[in-house]
Amino acid sequence: MSNHGIIQMHFRSLGIGEITRQLQEPVAMNGQVVVDGSAPNILRSKDGHGIIYDGRQDWAMWNAWANGDFTEADAMLATRWREQAATIDLDGITSEWKAFCDEYMQGARSIQDVIDRVDALIAQPGQQSNLLGMVYHFLEAPPAAQLMSSLLFATGSLTDVRAWAPYATSIARLGIVFCCCLTLRYITWRPTNVLDLQYLFYAPFGMVFVSHDRLHQQLWPATTTGAEFAWGADLKADLKRHVAARKAASEAREDGQPWKSYAEAFTPETSLIARLHSKYLKPRTGETSGPTGDFELLPEDVKRNFLEAIELIDEQDRLRGGKPGHRS
């Protein structure tokens, strides 16, 4: 079992599942997490229509990291990550892509120029075979995973790779842009960028993407997503302002002084958090937030779902030799 709670399905599994149609249809890229049903902390409800996520492992991990408590498994993962980075051959990548850039990136003067040229290229009917090959390359798709799409293309049933496999195409698009920008030296020359690029493959599955990595900021326009990029330093600064305002309001209340909700001091015009909250967390029309503190006040269907989730998680604990009923 991983030391991480796994929710989002791995990008490679998603892409290969899309081109083999094991997922039955193209991957939804609408800001919604695609749950990995094979993860050890993901359970299905009894009727098969619901997903139950056991987040205790995540909570324990993040709390431990916040306290500087790193396990032997954490150290091993960090060592493996550094070893992977050390084996990345940037000279090899640029040598491999030089001919491509010489042919298709003539006149490109910026990252946006590269993106524009890649988009124009993969839109051409005559380039669909090459695009399919790029999809295979960046997904590291084995021959068996290539068979179905190759046959469809050969018989003329697959004419637009972008429409047939939008998520797999988004990975190839990002990969092509990255390799070209690396070859043209438009992005930082660091081996770890090859690994950091993979975070952007998940951009279609969120509403907001927060990062303090310059590569993510530079290549964000090459992602295929409706999400918004937020620079990490800006978010941290706004969080500090919120924490300070909340503390001041709490102290005023305790001292018996006049006070009002600290949140009123932040508007979409003055606060990144308030703007993102206003844009992405809009309540549904005609609905208001329900009670949050008293279980008995919850709607009956919600209570049933909670009780079933507890029952299934307890059963999972029993199977693993744990103690059912424990809640952390």
Encode pLDDT of 198-253 as tens digits. 999 999 999 999 999 999 999 999 999 999 999 999 999 999 999 998 888 888 88
Nearest CA-CA partner of 100 in 79, 81, 77, 127: 127
Euclidean distance between CA atoms 179 and 118, whole angstroms: 11
For residues 205 and 301, state if they share a domain: no
Inside any domain, residue 15 = no
At residue 43, what are phi and psi to the nearest 5 degrees? -120, 155
Are residue 276 and residue 302 in the same domain, yes or no? no
Number of structural domains (the chain) is: 3
β-pairing verdict for 228-231 and 208-211 = parallel
**Predicted pLDDT at 37:** 67
257 and 305, same domain (yes or no): no
Residues 111 and 224 in one domain: yes
Assess whether 94 and 194 both reside in one domain: yes
188 and 215 co-located in one domain = yes
What's the confidence (pLDDT) of residue 184? 96
Q: Are residues 174 and 259 in the same domain?
A: no
Shared-domain flag, residues 226 and 99:
yes
Q: Residue 268 sits in which domain range?
A: 234-280
Distance in angstroms (rounded) separating the CA atoms of residues 206 and 32: 6
Q: Report yes or no: 195 and 85 within 8 Å, Cβ to Cβ.
A: yes
Residue 12 forms part of a structural domain: no
Nearest to 174 by CA among 211, 202, 141: 202
Among 215, 231, 247, which residue terminates a domain?
231
Hey, is 280 helix, strand or coil? helix
The per-residue pLDDT for 324 is 54
Same domain, 312 and 216: no
| pTM, entire model | 0.79
Query: Residues 161, 265: one domain?
Result: no
Each residue's pLDDT tens digit, 259-290? 777 778 888 999 999 999 989 887 655 555 45
Instruction: Mark whether 264 and 313 lie in a shared domain.
Output: no
Higher pLDDT, 143 or 54: 143
Tokens of 307: 């009780």
173 within domain boundaries: yes
Q: Which of 267, 262, 256 is nearest to 244 (CA)?
A: 262
Please check whether residues 303 and 276 belong to one and the same domain. no
